[in-house]
Amino acid sequence: MAALDLDRTAHEHAAALRSSEYTARALAEATLVRVRAQEPSLNAYITVTDELALRQADAADAALKAGGAGPLTGIPVGVKDLLGTKGVRTTAASKMLETFVPPYDCTVVQRLNAAGAVTIGKTNLDEFAMGSSTEHSAFGPTRNPWDLDRVPGGSSGGSAATVAARGVPISLGTDTGGSIRQPAALCGILGLKTTYGRVSRWGVVAFASSLDQVGPFARDAEDAAALLGVIAGHDPLDATSAPLPVPDYTERFARGLDGLRVGVPADFFGEGLEDGVREAMERSINVLAANGAVINRNITLPTAQAGLTVYYIIAPSEASANLARYDGVKYGYSYGDGRNAEEEMSETRGRGFGAEVKRRIMLGTYALSAGYYDAYYLKAQKVRTLIKREFDAALNEVDVILTPTSPNVAFRLAEKLDDPMAMYLNDLYTIPVNIAGNPGISLPCGFSDGLPVGMQLIGRMFEESTLLGAAHGWEQVTDWHRQAPPARG
């Protein structure tokens, strides 16, 4: 049997498995060894699921032998520890859910299992997905494989770090304000935030229900298309799930970049953008133009600059409502020594939630309180409508909108922990896409000071195929997606 190359992509592994170069069990065993070796330095996982992975690998081998394999059969995957997994604890990186073991799989995990994927483990994140650095985790911070003194981004930092470090070829994250795209950019991989309603949220621990979306991390567009093809589609258990058919997400791969209309809004290239990131963006625009893309610098998205303000009213408000269920009574952590119900609930929430989660609960509770609802939450929803209209108008003129994913490259651990506003500004360019509900993708497009830079492409509602086609075209004329960080185990 051939030696295993864990640097292969998912589709390369799939071809090797179908041709019997190696078995799914051998791939799972080798992946587990690598992930275990990387963990002391990366801390990308909260729970590594050895027994589950080997069981699923054996089932995949049986499917392969019977000729019933799909694109993800036997493929190792990391799953953000916000996605409910039957029999495997789902912590949301919080002390509040440290011992919570769901009695069911979320819809996305059900679909992964049905496709024959092999779950290697539950990846680390900012607590309840609230953060931009994966430092707000009750299980310690995840580190960036390009520089262990720096953050991987967040909140899906564990999912991004393990793919970048070649631990697993693909993983799942969630994106509420940039939590897939920003860590993808900082770790030098592809990350796709899907259209709101494209992927079921049933069984996913809720942060902000009108913003949350599940999506893939991968090292190339082909892997992302395969993973999205498995998890996308209507789910009657999720009232926000769109009743639309799932297309072939590779349908636009043959188009390439020729004739692709790319809008470049000056509104997203202003103050706060690091020089190295700006230079990488301009080089990328030139590469696109040299390969047939039509660049339009006349589109404008002026209201999108209010996206950060809108987000930090809507998201905390929804978080305040969603996290009210953690009261020490129904499930999760319970203080247990309260003298009365009020003290029990207060101590449970005070001890069970971390500082950032408590900060956002207080922001949201204030915005929803009597006398402030109209001034804050209602007004934010009205501005949200304006932002959506601007995106729709711009995307009538172009196929995709190009912006930086993050205004900066990966910053040092603890550098911004004491400055919440500086931390929030990391999502300045990604948040408006969640506000509008559109899909967005981050692609590696260069380096600044030896650290990856990400380019964001934004598309029309439910046109992930356009984004993935553009990503595939980009990968044919650049090699940024093939760059790997130093070996980490």
Q: Which two tokens stand for residue 66?
A: 């019977």
pLDDT attached to residue 150: 98
Task: List residues with catalytic annotation.
Answer: 80, 155, 179
Residues 6+ apart with CB under 8 A from 337: 347
pLDDT in tens, 86-98: 999 999 999 999 9
**Which helix (H) or strand (E) segment is 46 a member of?**
strand 45-48
Predicted confidence (pLDDT) at residue 182 exceeds the cutoff of 50: yes
* CATH code reported for the domain at 10-256: 3.90.1300.10
Domain spans in the chain, listed from the N-terminal domain onward: 10-256
**DSSP conformational letter for 207:** S
Kindly report, residue by residue over 258-294, the tens digit of the pLDDT: 999 999 999 999 989 999 999 999 999 999 999 999 9
Percent pLDDT > 90 in the chain is 95
Kindly indicate the confidence band of residue 3, based on its pLDDT and cuts at 50, 70 and 90. low
Q: What is the 8-class DSSP label of residue 254?
A: G
Can you say how many angstroms the Cα of residue 247 is from the centroid of all Cα atoms in its chain?
Answer: 21
pLDDT of residue 65: 97
Omega cis (within 30) before 179: no
Strands 451-458, 45-48: parallel, antiparallel or unpaired by DSSP? unpaired
Q: Which of 206, 157, 208, 146 is nearest to 179 (CA)?
A: 157
The DSSP 8-state label assigned to residue 116 in this structure reads T
For residue 323, the model assigns a pLDDT of 96
Exposure class string for 242-279: b at 16+ Cβ within 10 A, else e: beeeebebbebbebbbeebebbbbebbbeeebbebbee
- Please write the tens of the pLDDT for every residue from 103-132: 999 999 999 999 999 999 999 999 999 999
From CA 470, how far away is CA 53, in angstroms rounded?
33
What backbone phi and psi angles, to 5 degrees, belong to 456?
A: -100, 135
DSSP per residue, 273-332: --HHHHHHHHHHHHHHHHTT-EEE-----GGGGGHHHHHHHHHHHHHHHHGGG-SSSSSS
pLDDT confidence of residue 1: 44
**Please, what is the average pLDDT of the chain?**
96
CA-closest candidate to residue 350, choices 90, 25, 133, 96: 96
Please, which residues bridge with residue 80 across strands? 123
* φ and ψ at residue 76, rounded to 5 degrees: -70, 140
The pLDDT score that the predictor gives to residue 330 is: 82
Q: Whose CA is closest to 63, among 111, 118, 116?
A: 116
Cα separation of 14 and 63, whole Å?
13
Asked whether residue 2 carries a pLDDT value surpassing 60, the answer given is: no
> At residue 459, does pLDDT exceed 50?
yes
> Per-residue confidence at 371, pLDDT binned at 50, 70, 90?
confident
**Residue-wise pLDDT tens digits, 54-87:** 999 999 999 999 998 999 999 999 999 999 999 9
What is the tens place of the pLDDT at every residue in 292-322? 999 999 999 999 999 999 999 999 999 999 9
Locate the DSSP E strands across 169-291.
Answer: 170-175, 190-193, 213-218, 261-263
**Neighbouring C-beta atoms of residue 343, cutoff 10 Å:** 12
Q: What is the dihedral of CA 24, 29, 34, 37, to 10 degrees?
A: 160
Q: For tokens 């179908």, what's the residue? A: 18
pLDDT digits over 219-267, tens only? 999 999 999 999 999 999 999 999 999 999 999 999 999 999 999 999 9
CB 12 within 8 A of CB 218: no
Q: Say what the pLDDT of residue 383 is.
A: 97
Instruction: Look at strands 76-80 and 170-175 and give their pairing.
Output: parallel
User: pTM for this one?
Assistant: 0.97
